[in-house]
Amino acid sequence: MKTQAGFPVFRATMLMSLCLALFADLGCGGGSGGSNTSTTPPRTTPSTVATPAITMTAAQNGAQVVSLTTSTVGASIFYTLDGTTPTTSSTQYFAPMLISSNVTVNAIGALSGWTNSAAASQVFSTNAAQGTLVWSAEFTNTTGANAQPDPTVWTYDTGNGGFGNSELETYCAWGSTTAPCDAAKLNAYVGIDGYLHIVARNPSSGVYTSARMKSQGLFSFAQGRIEARIQMPVGQGLWPAFWLLGNNIATVNWPACGEQDVMEHVNVQSPDWIEGSIHGTNLNGGIKYYGPTGTGFLASDWHVYGMVWSKGSVSYYVDSPSNVYATYTNTNLASGAVWPFDSGSGAFVLLNLAVGGTWPGSPDATTPFPSEMLVNYVRIYAN
């Protein structure tokens, strides 16, 4: 208990503390001459993310490639296709997406510390009939010289990091001059013959170059039928592939994003075969196609390799969608397996020719270089 003589000192001290705590911004104390040396920052209202813009580029037979953008730097976009209002738990947008059915696209922009944007909305009434061609890359070339694959659709993985498979090649982009890439000896180009050429080269002992083309960030689709007409090289250590990866690989990584291998082939096979596979979290499956008994299937011949992607199902075929040789479904999955193909985020397309790696092993003296994977077209049809 304070003595009577000490009470005024206590009271003055308490009042000064209250003054400093509650009215510092009014200059009520502190500092010589009563000047204010402490200010409280003014309160600010969070900025609002700009409403996404929805733009369209015509595909084929009424289908549209839809792009979502926002002018707010660093913001993410989330969308729905069923008319509901999107939230930050909705599907995240990563790339222009093919729309070939009746849907309503609603989209918002979001950024940490900012207020979410208002929703943008666009109704699409494309509803293409099953089997209708809705998008294609035909690799036509009328320039009279080897041409760059369409840069609005195709970009490249580059470098020689092994790509998770201990591959030996350095992947080169169009026109790259970074050694061992050589702009005079392209690894990917559209020839005057109207084919996409993906070329594996052996510029010096133990050095290999090739190309891994992808539509990541430029074009994607979710569900439908996709096929490519391909002629593959055959040789020890060669690994051509036509496949897809989930757009959300940017946020969930592999294998959670899902991988759909429409066609893979390695080495010299007898009897010859290709394989269609799926991959996801604790989800792995691969089935080989040898062709009808006695027909002598050869991967070095021209063939059409396709996938039918429906909700809960992925099927692979050769030459005709009536010739399905492998089907995977989301039923009866192994314990811990996750089916990643119905997330709604879509997938992008890859075409590549690897050299070496854990599956085919290394090339040897019998391996032909240069070796080419030729692609006549890539086409997508409505389911």
What residues are labeled active site?
A: 259, 264
Q: How far is CA 120 from CA 53, 107, 188, 269, 376, in A?
A: 7, 5, 39, 53, 38
* Residue whose entry in the numeric block shows the structure tokens 């490519």: 228
HSE of 36 in the Cβ direction (CA atoms, 13 Å)? 12
Amino acid identity of residue 54, one-letter, is I
Q: Report whether 227 contacts 305 (CB < 8 A).
A: yes
User: Can you tell me which residue has the tokens 């959300």?
Assistant: 248
Q: Is 354 helix (H, G, I), strand (E, B) or coil?
A: strand
In angstroms, the CA 56 to CA 53 distance is 10
Beta bridge partners of 98: 65
User: Closest Cα to residue 357, out of 209, 161, 162?
Assistant: 162
| Residues 6+ away with beta carbon under 8 Å from 213 | 149, 154, 155, 156, 188, 196, 198, 350, 351, 352
Cβ-count burial 292-325 (b if 16+ within 10 Å, e if not): eeeeebebeeebbbbbbbeeebbbbbbeebeebb
* Rounded-to-integer distance, Cα 64 and Cα 135, Å: 9
Neighbour-count burial for 209-237, b at 16+ CB within 10 Å, e otherwise: bbbbbbbbebbbbbbbbbbbbbbbbbbbb
Rounded Cα distance, 37 and 52, in Å: 44
Q: What are phi and psi of 195, to 5 degrees?
A: -115, 145
Torsion of Cα atoms, 239 then 240 then 245 then 249, to 10°? 50
